[in-house]
Structures are given as C-alpha cells and as structure tokens.
Amino acid sequence: MEFTTGFGWTRLPVLAAVFVLGSVLTVSAQIIPPFSPAAAVPDDEAEAAETAEATPDVNDPDVLKGIDVDKLDWSQLAVDAGTASEIAAAKKRAQAAAEDGMNWSSNANANGSSAVTVKQSVSSFWDARIGADMTVASEPRTMSELLAQKATNGGNLQQSSGSAWAAATAPGAGVIWDKTAVEARVDPGAEQSKIGASLTKSVPLSGDTSLTLQNGYSVNQQGTTALPGVGHITRNYGTDQSAKVTITDTGTSITAGQTLSTTDDKWLRKVGAEQKLFDNVTVSGSVGETSQGAINKSLSAGFKKSW
C-alpha cells in the first residue's frame, strides 16, 4: 500500500516551522499582560485624542435650542459650598437675630430734627416690648442755621428729648374680654410718666361685620420726687370706653366712645368714622366734645404702607 499527501515531503519542514512559531506566540500571549491603548500611545497622541473627544461635533444636538440665554437666572450658581441644610440653618439664625435684636427707625422732621425710634422684643410669650422715642436736634453748622433755629424756638437752640416705654399684650379672661394690653411711658425731660391698661372684647355680628368693645384706664403723673419735700407732684386718673363696628368688605369702620378724667367733671363723648378708599389710602373724620363745652371737629386723610 502506498500513502501519499497533497503537501509532499518537501513541504514538511515548512509546516514544522509554522507549528513551532504558533506555539511560541501562544505562550507569549499568556505571559504578556493585556494590551492597554493608553500605554501604547505616546503622551502627546493621548492628549490629542482626549481633545478630539472633548470637542463637540457639528452634528451633536443643540441643548440650548429654544432657550433665551438672557433670561436665565445665573444667580442660582452663586451658592456657597455648604449643604442646603447648612444654608437653611444660617437663614434661620439670621432671622432670629434680627427679631431678637433692636429695631431702629428714623424720620426727618420739618424743623431739621430727626424722630428716632428704637424697640426690642423682650418676651414672645406675652409680646413684651421695650423701646424709646427720641427727637434728635440737628447741630447748626453755619451762622444762618443757628439764627434760624433760635428764631423757630423762641430765641433758644433746639434741644433733644426722648421718652422710654414698655408694653405687653396678654390674653384676656375667658368670655369676659379677649386681650389685655399694658403700657408704661416715662419722659425725664418733661418730668412726666404714664401707665395705662386696656381690655378688649371682639364680638362677631353678621357676615363680615364685627364689633369691638374696649375699656381703658390710665394714670398720668407730672413732677418727680428726687428730694423729699421738694417739688410738686400731680396725678390725673382717666378712663375711656369705646365701641367700634367694622365692615370688612367695604372697608368702613364707625367708632363711638366717651372719656372721663379727674380734671373734667363730666363724660366727654366722641364719634368718628373711617373709610378705606383704595389700596392704603384712608379718610377719617370725628366730632367730639371738649371740657370747655365747644365741639371739636376733624377730618384727615392718610396713607399707610408696610414692607
């Protein structure tokens, strides 16, 4: 029997060489670590590849399509590195400090002085507050300002003045009254002091109409007792009663009341009305009796806005 192959004996060494070379390459592939493109590419070429990937393609979709860039609120990017909870806590601490601290306000008067008011909350349980109302005189800077101040104040320079006060609002006594308000004021310059209290009761009527009843009591003192036997002290006791009907829908309120003090020998009655025109503009008028027997009439308009 004769056995032959298509390769022939002359090609056997070549096949053996190919077999040996394949075995060597297989062993080398198992020893050499996996191929890393980053390690194989030089640094300059790698940076160029990263730049090419970061550069947007003209065929990429436009993420700002349909958005007006000028209307974007860029201030939202101005945020501290703190977390949202830390920012909220900081805002609460700032608000608490503003509420617990002193509140100052100042308004210029027509005569050149300034009306300065300062107040501070003492306790939130009874809404207790303390403060001072001051009139701060302006210092004349020229001779003409000096002469003008003397002419306005009867030949004397304008003097600063002020009074200190304390106020508190407390609950009432069940169904008898709803709210109790107490206030005390001392004016050292004028040697005057006053303490007063008021009791308020609100009664709903029909619909948007309500009735508010109020009784007030006060004691006014003139003079001081710095030295025993020196000076003269006078006290004036007074009381007032009032009833106010308020119509919320129309912004109308009607008030009727009367006052009595130790300096007067009779009740002095007074009626008034207030009408809200629009926004914060109101018109009010009143007619009342005086201790001399004349009738006191008044009509005023006011604008009040808080922000």
Q: What is the pLDDT of residues 45-70, one digit of tens each?
A: 545 555 545 455 556 666 566 666 66
For tokens 């002290």, what's the residue? 233
Bridge partners of 41? none
Burial class (CB in 10 A: 0-12, 13-18, 19+), 149: buried
The DSSP secondary structure of the chain, one letter per residue, reads -----SS-GGGHHHHHHHHHHHHHHHHHHHHSPPP-HHHHS-HHHHHHHHHHHHSPPTTS--TTTT--GGGS-GGGG---SS-HHHHHHHHHHHHHHHHHS-EEEEEE-TTS-EEEEEEEEEETTTTEEEEEEEEEPPPP-SHHHHHHHHHHTTTS----EEEEEEEEEEE--TTS-SEEEEEEEEETTTTEEEEEEEEEEEEE-STTEEEEEEEEEEEEEES--SSTT-S--EEEEEEEEEEEEEETTTTEEEEEEEEEETT-SS-EEEEEEEEEEETTEEEEEEEEE-TTSPEEEEEEEEE----
> Considering the chain, what is the average pLDDT of its residues?
75
Yes or no: say if 53 and 38 are a contact pair by the CB < 8 Å rule.
no
Buried b / exposed e over 269-301, threshold 16 CB at 10 Å, is: ebebebbeeeeeebebebebbeeeeeeeeeeee
Yes or no: say if 288 and 268 are a contact pair by the CB < 8 Å rule.
yes
What is the predicted pLDDT for the residue at 307?
A: 52
Yes or no: say if 282 and 290 are a contact pair by the CB < 8 Å rule.
no
Between 305 and 199, whose confidence is greater? 199
Q: What is the pLDDT of residues 157-186, one digit of tens each?
A: 777 888 999 999 988 877 788 899 999 999
Q: What is the pLDDT of residues 104-124, one digit of tens each?
A: 888 887 777 788 898 888 887
**Cα gap 295→287, rounded to integer Å:** 7
What is the predicted pLDDT for the residue at 104?
A: 84
Yes or no: say if 137 and 116 are a contact pair by the CB < 8 Å rule.
no
First vs last Cα of the chain: how many Å apart?
A: 118
Between 294 and 270, whose confidence is greater? 270
**Cα gap 28→48, rounded to integer Å:** 32
**Cα gap 133→118, rounded to integer Å:** 7
Residue 267: closest CA among 299, 242, 234: 242
Give me the mean pLDDT over the 138-147 stretch. 79
Model-wide pTM > 0.85? no
Q: What is the pLDDT of residues 79-103, one digit of tens each?
A: 555 455 555 655 555 555 555 567 8
For tokens 């945020």, what's the residue? 79
